[in-house]
Amino acid sequence: MTIIYMLLAISVTVAVLFFIVFIISVKKGQYDDTYTPSVRMLFEDELVKGEPSEETKPKNDNN
């Protein structure tokens, strides 16, 4: 039973450590992206090439 308490304490300590490192990196601007939003409107959406839909298929009157 003692090992469960020890593993629980270690896991909480590691989780708190990762959380602190994450908060520090966010405050230092690690995840800030100032370039992409300004040029996103310049990129065109890529067309998906695949099978034509029912609306664009030619209709055959032979059936």
- Per-residue model confidence as pLDDT tens for the chain (63 residues): 999 999 999 999 999 999 999 999 999 988 888 788 778 778 776 665 666 566 666 666 665
Compute the distance between CA of residue 15 and CA of residue 58 in angstroms, rounded to an integer.
60
DSSP the chain: -HHHHHHHHHHHHHHHHHHHHHHHHHHTTTT--SSHHHHGGGSPPPPPP-SPPTTTSPPPS--
Q: Which two tokens stand for residue 25?
A: 């990196």
Residue 8's alpha-carbon distances to 1, 14, 15, 19, 20, in angstroms, are: 11, 10, 11, 16, 18
